[in-house]
Amino acid sequence: MNPASDPGHGHSPAAWTAVTVMLVALSIGTVAFFFQAWWLVIASAVLTLAGWGLGFVLAAMGWGVRGPKYQPKDHA
């Protein structure tokens, strides 16, 4: 594959931040579901959606794969 056409597959600060926030939120939600803490399950669902939105916001600010602030690294 031509490196110039490689979309980056999410290797950007925006993607890493969004996935980290969502992973933590879903982990908390899973434990909360086990202990039947429904308010925390709902809060973790909201935090998951916030993490998803955070990825879009950071990408719009230039931290996405095609953003000017992102510097791709060589994967040789």
Q: What is the pTM of this model?
A: 0.81
Q: What pLDDT is stored for residue 66 in this prediction?
A: 83
Residue extents of the structural domains in the chain: 10-63
**Ramachandran region, residue 9 (left: φ > 0; alpha: ψ -120 to 50; beta: rest):** left
Q: Which of 19, 11, 13 is nearest to 59 (CA)?
A: 13
Q: How confident is the model at residue 8 (pLDDT cuts 50, 70, 90)?
A: low
Task: Express each pLDDT in 19-63 by its tens digit.
Answer: 999 999 999 999 999 999 999 999 999 999 999 999 999 999 999
64 CB neighbour count, 10 Å cutoff: 20
